[in-house]
Structures are given as C-alpha cells and as structure tokens.
C-alpha cells in the first residue's frame, strides 16, 4: 500500500507545475478540418453535435466479411497507425467518495492536469473512431475521457473541470437511468440536460438499457437470451439517437463484462467500438469489440499511474496486491500471435517472451485462452520464452490470451487478443468465451 502511494506521489508531484503546457495541446488546432461543415459549437470545439453526414461512408473492408468485423480496416499505406490511446472511465465525482464508483473532484482535476503534463492529447471519441477507420491521424499519445451511467455529478462537477481544460469527453448513459425512466433516481440526468451537453459538444453514447450484466442468462432460453441482448444494445442506441438526434456508435458494457455472444451482437447492433473496464493501451489493431478503459476511483490511485504509463490490466478491482512495476514490463512483452494479428493456423503455438518481467517463478506461469481454458505451458529459462500449444482446433473469429505469473511474490496478469480466420472462412461462433471478469466492481 505504502509503496503504491509512494509511486503515485512521485508521478503525481511531477506534473502539476506547468500549466502552460496545456495551452499547447495540439488537438485544439486540429479540429477545424473535421468541424468545417458542422454548426458552430459553443464551448467545447470538439465532438459530434450532429449525426455525421449520412453519405460518403468510405468502404470498410472488414465490415464486408462476416467473421472479421472486429478487425481493423487496412489503412492507406502512408497512414500512421502507430499512435497509442488510453481510455479513462469515471462514474461519480464526490468530495467524500462513498463507494468505488466515486472520485474526489480535486483528484479528478489533478488527473486531468497530469494528462497534459505527461504529453497526452485528449481527443474526442469521434477522432478515435476516425483514426480506427483509417480516416484521420491522431497524436502519438492520445487519451479518451469517458463518464459512465449518467450521474448528475458528471454534469455538475466533472464538466466544468473538463471545460476548463478544453477536453472533449464522452458520456456513456444507460437509458433506464435517465430522469423519468424506470430506474432513474435523485442523481439522474434529464434528457434536457443531456441535450445541453450535446449542444456544447459533449459526446453521448450507450451503456445499454438496464445496466444488467450482459453475460447473465438466468433462466432464458438461448433465443430469449439473444433477443434480450439485442434489446439491451439496440434499444438504448435507438432511444439515445431518437431523443438527442445523434448517431450512437459506441457501447460501454455494464461492469465491463462480455462474452463471445455479447460481443457478436454488439457489433451486429451497429456499434463500432465497445468498451470494457480492463485498462490497457489501445492501438490501431485493438479489437473493436473489447477496448479496455482504465476505471478511475479515489480508492485506487495506482490505476491512473498505470494509465499514464499505458500499463495493461488497470481495470477497477483489477488486482488486490498491486503490481505496478510488473505490469509495466508486461506491456512490452513480445507475443505470438501479436496483438490484433489474424492467423490461419487452427492449432497454433502461443508464445510469449517474459524477459522484461524480471524474476518469474516458472511454476506459476499459466496461460488461458478464451473459449478454450488453460493451455499447458513450457518455459525455457534461458530465453525466458513460454510456449503453449493449442491442442483443440480454434473455431472462433476472435481469441483473448491471458497470461499470469508470480514475479517476486506478486501475481501479474496480462492479456492480448488475436483473430482466427481459416483460409476457407466460415468460423462458427457457437462456443461462448467466458473472459474472467477481472474488473468487476460492485456497481458501475
Ligand atoms: Zn456503468
């Protein structure tokens, strides 16, 4: 604990000296090209305030292939795909945080300042999506800020702070919680407040209808479950689009939880980017159906430290022991297949080099594959390479590999994803891929 705070202090105390840096943020001057045809935006000069023009959507090759909707499109040769993005996820802003969803306004303010001080450019979600489509380049170190659920404090407390920094941001709302809807409460935002935010350039996206864990089937037949998933994902999108006259392209899974069917239906429901709360560095090749966000709260300051270092595994509730240094190393591990790669071999050997992790306990190394489970590993202590031969044929279009190990008595975990596209095509999606919910706060 002491160590974690000490680490935070080191990082936190560095940034807060230079306010002037913030004025140089490149994104402020980069907007005009996109916004040229949009109506003037009163305060935040960013974010979609109107649906994008309905025509001239450039052909997206990936969309045409049923099994590869999550793969990134092939960009123009000169297009810079190399940027890194962190996505931050907040919920409520309170002076005395009562639970794991809240953060103190003063801490939020410090984090916003630290982004600038650490060289991040906060970009609108729209820019992130355009970059992923290969249409627009973004700064090398970019950040997307998002606020989940639709609590008043996002409007009353966070918004003024974000405005001050001229940061664009996204609100992920679940429609049942909006004032007047079945699950609304004293802290709910109203549609008119959301309209006000929209008019000021705030991006508004979907967090489903009811905020229930999308993996839970509870007595539903497979058909009922599928229909329920569609209702949750399509109806919230439609309602927000109809009430606010915008185009909703992004989904935040409630609690960050998903499985293969959830992800498939999310993409089929028209979402272009689906977010979890498993914090990780996002790249051009990160899979669109599980983009990790760092969930920030007052009780876990180390998550923000991980975020600005772009270390994986920083989701809410992500670890008890804390593993700042080890996770940092994990982010630089060499893997095979690589993150986002599409392979055709049905029984591949997964490889990962652990050299950057330091002293790994060989007996503790475990690799799990989504939809498959544990895969036996072989560790070569000389090269520090772990190999895991998959012995049952792959059949899903998308897989996540989870590696865990003990390093100097602390458990570390990292994960990466790859796609499987057999030469003949036609991967089926019958098998559920239960991703262990590492990031599952009580409510969120
Ligand atoms: Zn939520």
User: Distance, CA 182 to ligand 1 centroid (Å)?
Assistant: 16
Q: How far is the centre of ligand 1, averaged over its atoms, from the C-alpha of 92 (Å)?
A: 10
CATH, domain range 11-51+60-318: 3.20.20.370
CA–centroid distance, 327 to ligand 1, in Å, is: 25
Distance CA 218, CA 213 (A): 11
Q: Measure 149 CA to ligand 1 centroid, in angstroms.
A: 5
CATH class of segment(s) 334-420:
mainly beta
Listed residue (121, 126, 125, 120) closest to 89, CA to CA:
125
pLDDT, average across residues 159-188: 97
Residue 25: HSE in the Cβ half-sphere, 13 Å Cα cutoff = 25
Q: How big is the chain, counted in residues? A: 444
The Å distance, Cα 85 to ligand 1 centre, comes to: 21
Q: Which range has the top average pLDDT, 56-65, 147-156, 394-403?
A: 147-156
Q: For the chain, which residues make up each domain, given as ranges?
A: 11-51+60-318, 334-420
- Please indicate, yes or no, whether the overall pTM of this predicted structure exceeds 0.85: no
- pLDDT over 70 at 441, yes or no: no
CA of 97 to the centre of ligand 1 (A): 16
Ligand 1 center to 333 CA (angstroms): 31
Q: Which residues make Cβ contacts (< 8 Å) with residue 49, sequence separation at least 6?
A: 38, 39, 41, 198, 199, 201, 246
Lowest mean pLDDT among 71-75, 270-274, 332-336, 384-388: 71-75
Would you say the C-alpha torsion 413, 12, 286, 266 has a positive or negative sign?
A: positive
- Both tokens of 42, joined, read 């009163």
Q: Where are the beta strands (DSSP E) in 152-275?
A: 170-173, 203-206, 250-252, 273-275
CB 244 within 8 A of CB 41: no
Place of tokens 């923000």: 304
For ligand 1, the distance from its centroid to the CA atom of residue 269, given in whole angstroms, is: 19
Asked if 233 contacts 226 with a C-beta cutoff of 8 angstroms, the reply is no
- Alpha-carbon Rg for the chain, nearest whole angstrom, is 21
* 3 state DSSP class of 147: strand
Which residues have CB atoms below 5 A from the ion given as ligand 1? 148-149, 444
Measured CA to CA in angstroms, residue 199 lies from 48, 202, 238, 240, 249 at distances of: 9, 7, 19, 14, 18
Confidence (pLDDT) at 111: 98
9 alpha carbon – ligand 1 mean position (Å): 29
């Amino acid at each position: 604990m002491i160590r974690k705070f000490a680490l935070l202090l080191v990082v936190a105390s560095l940034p807060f000296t230079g306010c002037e840096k913030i004025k140089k943020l490149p994104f402020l001057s980069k907007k005009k090209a996109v916004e040229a045809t949009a109506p003037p935006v009163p305060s935040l000069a960013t974010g979609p305030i109107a649906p994008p023009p309905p025509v001239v959507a450039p052909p997206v090759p990936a969309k045409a292939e049923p099994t590869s909707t999550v793969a990134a499109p092939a960009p123009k040769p000169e297009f810079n795909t190399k940027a890194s993005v962190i996505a931050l996820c907040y919920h409520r802003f309170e002076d005395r945080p009562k639970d794991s969803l809240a953060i103190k306004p003063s801490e939020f303010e410090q984090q916003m300042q630290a982004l600038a001080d650490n060289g991040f450019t906060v970009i609108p979600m729209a820019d992130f999506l355009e970059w992923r489509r290969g249409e627009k380049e973004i700064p090398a170190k970019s950040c997307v800020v998002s606020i989940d659920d639709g609590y008043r404090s996002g409007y009353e407390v966070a918004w003024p702070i974000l405005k001050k920094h001229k940061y664009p941001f996204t609100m992920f709302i679940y429609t049942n919680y909006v004032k007047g809807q079945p699950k609304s409460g004293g802290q709910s935002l109203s549609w008119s407040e959301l309209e006000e935010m929209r008019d000021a350039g705030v991006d508004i996206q979907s967090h489903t209808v009811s905020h229930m864990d999308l993996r839970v089937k509870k007595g539903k037949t497979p058909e009922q479950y599928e229909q329920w998933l569609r209702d949750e994902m399509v109806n919230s999108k439609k309602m927000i689009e109809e009430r606010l006259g915008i185009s909703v392209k992004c989904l935040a899974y409630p609690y960050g939880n998903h499985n293969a069917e959830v992800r498939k239906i999310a993409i089929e429901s028209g979402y272009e980017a689906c977010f979890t709360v498993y914090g990780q560095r996002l790249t051009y090749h990160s899979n669109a159906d599980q983009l990790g966000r760092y969930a920030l709260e007052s009780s876990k300051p180390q998550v923000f430290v991980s975020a600005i270092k772009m270390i994986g595994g920083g989701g809410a509730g992500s670890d008890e022991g804390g593993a700042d240094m080890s996770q940092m190393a994990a982010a630089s591990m060499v893997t095979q297949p690589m993150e986002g790669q599409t392979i055709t071999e049905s029984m591949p050997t997964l490889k990962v080099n652990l050299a950057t992790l330091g002293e790994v306990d060989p007996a503790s190394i475990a690799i799990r594959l989504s939809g498959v489970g544990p895969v036996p590993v072989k560790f070569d202590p000389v090269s520090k390479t772990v190999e895991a031969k998959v012995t049952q044929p792959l059949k899903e279009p998308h897989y996540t590999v989870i590696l865990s190990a003990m390093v100097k008595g602390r458990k570390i975990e990292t994960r990466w994803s790859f796609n499987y596209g057999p030469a003949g095509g036609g991967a089926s999606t019958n098998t559920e891929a239960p991703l262990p919910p590492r990031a599952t706060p009580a409510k969120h």
